Amino acid sequence: MQKELAPAYLKELKVYQAGKPIDEVARERGLTKISKLASNENPLGPSPYAIREMTRGLWDLHRYPDMHAYQLKSKLAEIYNLKLENIILGNGSEGIMAYIARAFLQPGDEVLTCENTFIGFYILARSVGAKLQKVPLTEDYRFDVKALAQNISEQTKVIYIANPNNPTGTYITKSEFDYLMEHVPSHVLVILDEAYFEFAVQQEDYPDSMDYRYDNVLTLRTFSKAYGLSGVRVGYGFGHEDLISYLTKVKLPFEPNLVGQLGAVGALEDQPHLERTIKNNTKRYNELIAYLEEKNFQPIKSITNFVTIKTGSAEASDYLFDKLLDQGVIIRPLKANEMNEYIRISIGTKEEMKHFYEAMDAVLPEYDKKFGRA
């Protein structure tokens, strides 16, 4: 019965795999001290301003949220000098990707992107029957703008770029973005997923999409990463009002929820928390790179809050993941991203990173022997 109900393209679709939850690891392995370095979250937690606003909102939970999210949109409009009509909000940036799929993609439409990027988008595009055309990343693990430009066809409807990319942490530069836009016809929609924007914008040649004005570019950002609000699911998108009006038509009216809207407003008011977050990230990133290089890994240079390394085989990745779990450290194997031979480590607090280094020190002697690195 279910088989007949679902369209053919849903039958092959795999369910998204998230990072392993802390409670699950605690239960399975009988551990109490756990460091989750698996989902690129903010290890410092939410801003106290966000907590204050969300707590206040708890007394109003018998009410529906403001479906126009006036307060949050106004705040974003003020910061980015936009009109409310240029802003869409959703349950995380992934929620907005779902609106994009619903509004603009039909079975058979072609979506052009790269291999080894954010799987959530692949799943959403496939869930409405769109066809993914994926070109390989460059040798240095970056979106290949030349290959993308060469592969634009009559059928291309949407181009998806994660900048910076997850899971590689790499980015396309300003000149590469210019090159790409010179080759994209104006009827093709370009999604610029900037989930790690707040970390990336420190780079001089990083193209902040808000410095450009293209009617066919949609910017996606989130409160889940640098703002530390993954749990309440708030994402935002900026674009031409025509694009936004279509997304608004397919949007569920009360997303994001009441608590999320309030938390996001609080987070935007707490610049010092964001600065602390970036500062911790930069310091821990440098330490992590130094540690990994000392242990003879070659980390992919990242401008985000995570680092990916090559283990060399699927077996080595699984081994490291499993043995680190025994030590209470959750990292991310990248099988679902078709990067079996790699693992990803999110940057944590000083204490969490110490836990990671101690766990690695405990695991590496056997690992090195087993995988011929000794």
Ligand X SMILES: Cc1ncc(COP(=O)(O)O)c(C=O)c1O
Does position 260 bind ligand X by CB under 6 A?
Answer: no
Under 8 Å CB-to-CB from 204, ≥6 apart: which residues? none
CA distance 65 to 308: 39
User: Whose Cβ is closer to ligand X: residue 99's or residue 319's?
Assistant: 99
User: Whose Cβ is closer to ligand X: residue 111's or residue 363's?
Assistant: 111
Window 222-251: contact mask with ligand X (x via CB under 6 A): x-x-----x----x----------------
Residues 257-289, buried b or exposed e (16+ Cβ, 10 A)? Answer: bbbbbbbbbbbbebeebbeebbebbeebbeebb
Q: Which of 193, 198, 255, 270 contacts ligand X by CB under 6 A?
A: 193
DSSP, collapsed to helix, strand or coil, labels residue 82 as coil
DSSP state of 230: G
User: Whose Cβ is closer to ligand X: residue 57's or residue 90's?
Assistant: 90
Under 8 Å CB-to-CB from 238, ≥6 apart: which residues? 80, 82, 86, 87, 88, 209, 210, 218, 219, 221
Q: Which of 94, 198, 270, 352 contacts ligand X by CB under 6 A?
A: 94
User: Whose Cβ is closer to ligand X: residue 171's or residue 367's?
Assistant: 171
Does position 207 bind ligand X by CB under 6 A?
Answer: no
Q: Are 22 and 346 in contact (CB under 8 A)?
A: no
Stretch that binds ligand X, among 42-50, 91-99, 135-143, 268-276 (CB under 6 A): 91-99
Asked if residue 167 has a cis previous peptide bond (ω within 30° of 0), the answer is yes
Does position 141 bind ligand X by CB under 6 A?
Answer: no
Does position 133 bind ligand X by CB under 6 A?
Answer: no
Window 5-44: contact mask with ligand X (x via CB under 6 A): -----------------------------------x----
Q: Which of 365, 362, 367, 329 lies closest to 346, judged by CA?
A: 329
The side-by-side arrangement of strands in the sheet containing 332-333 is 306-310, 342-346, 332-333
Stretch that binds ligand X, among 90-98, 147-155, 205-213, 363-371 (CB under 6 A): 90-98
Using CB under 6 A, list all residues that contact ligand X: 40, 92-94, 118, 120, 162, 166, 193, 195, 222, 224, 230, 235
